[in-house]
């Protein structure tokens, strides 16, 4: 089974002609409220593909929290690990201008209150998970506790987003560390080389067991540590991209699920790029995630 540990946010989206300057007020479109957050997105993406998926997260005792629980349940996610209360549900306040550029303010809210203690109290969920997938929209100490508390032999998948410095024990557990170009550059800092192969090599040198670099329309690059390893390109199907929101979450969820079925990294990535490609053909994040049938039809 797959366990996703991460954030759940309500995305509050307003279209604007232009952003307000300090002290100014502008009028925008009607408000749209969508379930989001990287953890919630990954769990929905995996469950929609048919994966047995549970989510460990925290939401507020409020309407946004109920929206998030409802979208998880509708996708078939086991929500027994979604804790309620302690702070308002996390929110992303998003304005979109006519060129499609976003400006976003995130209030982590309940996500910031998902504690290492919450992880320790979720022993049954952790014991039942063959793969645990995390991101960084929850406290880093909570992610570090997931690494320690997961079952012996459980595989740990990390998308370090938003990017932050990672402690060595967390890095060493990643199998794989999944980064897009922006995250790769952040993690590597000055050590970043010139292309994805350089990044993969440099990232492996930081200690993870394996690395996946996602490359948008170009697909992904996978690299495993150990002797004689070399990076392998996994091309993405060519599609008409409409909205890339959530593509990385769909990719990582699909990858983690296929790894939980025992596929090797390159085979799992070959499936995941198809899921990512399908997700960019539709608007939205969770609304764009495909079923297994839709992936086959691609
Ligand atoms: P992120 O959304 O985290 O920035 P990427 O942009 O690398 O991540 O996208 C993740 C995956 O989604 C890619 O590996 C690819 O499979 C798919 N994808 C993203 N953009 C496109 C695109 N324009 N065409 C086809 N597939 C895409």
In a domain, 224, yes or no: yes
**Cβ atoms < 10 Å from Cβ of 71:** 21
CA atoms within 13 A on the CB side of 242: 10
pLDDT of the residue at 227: 64
Kindly give the interhelix angle for 247-260 and 265-279, rounded to the nearest 10 degrees. Answer: 150
In a domain, 21, yes or no: no
Catalytic residue among 175, 190, 249, 264: 249
- pLDDT tens digits for range 103-128: 999 999 999 999 999 999 999 999 99
Q: Give residues with Cβ within 8 angstroms of 101, minimum separation 6.
A: none
How many whole angstroms separate alpha carbon 35 and alpha carbon 91?
10
Determine if residue 130 is labeled as part of a ligand binding site: no
Residue from 39, 181, 61 nearest 110 by CA: 61
In a domain, 22, yes or no: no
Tokens of 253: 């969820």
pLDDT of the residue at 192: 75
Determine if residue 249 is labeled as part of a ligand binding site: yes
Atom 8 (ligand 1): residue with closest C-alpha?
248
pLDDT of the residue at 228: 63
Q: What's the gap in Å between 273 CA and the centre of ligand 1?
A: 7
How many whole angstroms separate alpha carbon 230 and alpha carbon 213?
13
pLDDT of the residue at 194: 83
Q: Is the peptide bond before 166 cis (omega within 30 degrees of 0)?
A: no
Residue 24 exposed, middle or buried by CB count within 10 Å (0-12, 13-18, 19+): exposed
Atom 13 (ligand 1): residue with closest C-alpha?
216
Which residues constitute the domain of residue 234? Answer: 2-16+30-297
How many whole angstroms separate alpha carbon 34 and alpha carbon 272?
24
Determine if residue 298 is labeled as part of a ligand binding site: no
Q: Is the peptide bond before 86 cis (omega within 30 degrees of 0)?
A: no
What CATH number does the domain containing 219 carry?
3.40.1190.20
For every residue of 111-140, DSSP letters joined together read: GGG--HHHHHHTHHHHHT-SEEEEESSS-H
- pLDDT tens digits for range 16-72: 999 999 999 999 999 999 999 999 999 999 999 999 999 999 999 999 999 999 999
Atom 17 (ligand 1): residue with closest C-alpha?
276
Q: What's the gap in Å between 227 CA and the centre of ligand 1?
A: 29
In a domain, 49, yes or no: yes
How many whole angstroms separate alpha carbon 258 and alpha carbon 276?
14
How many domains in the chain?
A: 1
In a domain, 23, yes or no: no
Determine if residue 243 is labeled as part of a ligand binding site: yes
Residue list, ligand 1 pocket, CB within 6 Å: 180, 214-217, 219-220, 236, 239, 241, 244, 247-248, 251, 273, 276-277, 280
Whether ipTM > 0.85 holds is yes
Q: What's the gap in Å between 274 CA and the centre of ligand 1?
A: 9
Q: Give residues with Cβ within 8 angstroms of 96, minimum separation 6.
A: 13, 14, 15, 16, 102
CA atoms within 13 A on the CB side of 115: 8
In a domain, 50, yes or no: yes
Q: What is the pLDDT along the chain (298 residues), one digit of tens a residue?
A: 999 999 999 999 999 999 999 999 999 999 999 999 999 999 999 999 999 999 999 999 999 999 999 999 999 999 999 999 999 999 999 999 999 888 999 999 999 999 999 999 999 999 999 999 999 999 999 999 999 999 999 999 999 999 999 999 999 999 999 999 999 999 998 877 788 999 999 999 999 999 999 999 999 999 998 766 689 999 999 999 999 999 999 999 999 999 999 999 999 999 999 999 999 999 999 999 999 999 999 8
pLDDT of the residue at 230: 81
The model's pTM is 0.96
In a domain, 25, yes or no: no
Strands (E), 68-192: 82-84, 90-96, 102-107, 131-135, 155-159, 174-179
Atom 26 (ligand 1): residue with closest C-alpha?
277
Residue 198 annotated to the active site = no
């Amino acid at each position: 089974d797959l366990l996703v540990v991460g954030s759940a946010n309500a995305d509050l989206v307003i279209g604007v002609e232009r952003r307000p300057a300090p002290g100014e007020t502008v009028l925008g479109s009607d408000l749209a409220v969508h379930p989001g957050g990287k953890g919630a997105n990954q769990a929905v993406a995996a469950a929609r593909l048919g994966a047995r998926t549970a989510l460990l997260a925290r939401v507020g005792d409020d309407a946004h929290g109920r929206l998030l629980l409802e979208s998880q349940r509708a996708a078939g996610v086991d929500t027994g690990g979604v804790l309620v209360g302690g702070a308002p549900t996390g929110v992303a306040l998003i304005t979109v201008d006519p060129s499609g550029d976003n400006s976003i303010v995130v209030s982590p809210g309940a996500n910031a209150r998902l504690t290492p203690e919450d992880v320790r109290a979720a022993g049954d969920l952790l014991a039942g998970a063959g793969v645990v997938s995390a991101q960084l929209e929850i406290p880093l100490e909570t992610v570090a506790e997931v690494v320690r508390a997961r079952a012996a032999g459980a595989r740990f998948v990390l998308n370090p987003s938003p990017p932050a410095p990672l402690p060595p024990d967390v890095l060493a557990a990643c199998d794989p560390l999944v980064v897009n170009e922006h995250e790769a550059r952040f993690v590597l800092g000055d050590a970043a080389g010139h292309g994805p192969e350089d990044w993969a090599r440099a990232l492996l040198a930081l200690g993870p067991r394996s690395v996946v670099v996602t490359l948008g329309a170009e697909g992904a690059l996978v690299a495993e540590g150990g002797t004689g390893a070399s990076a392998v390109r996994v091309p993405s199907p060519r599609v008409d991209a409409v909205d890339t929101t959530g593509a990385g979450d769909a990719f990582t969820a699909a990858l983690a699920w296929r790894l939980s079925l025992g596929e090797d990294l390159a085979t799992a990535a070959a499936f995941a790029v198809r899921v990512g490609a399908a997700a960019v053909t539709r608007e939205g994040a969770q609304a764009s995630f495909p079923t297994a049938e839709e992936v086959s039809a691609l």
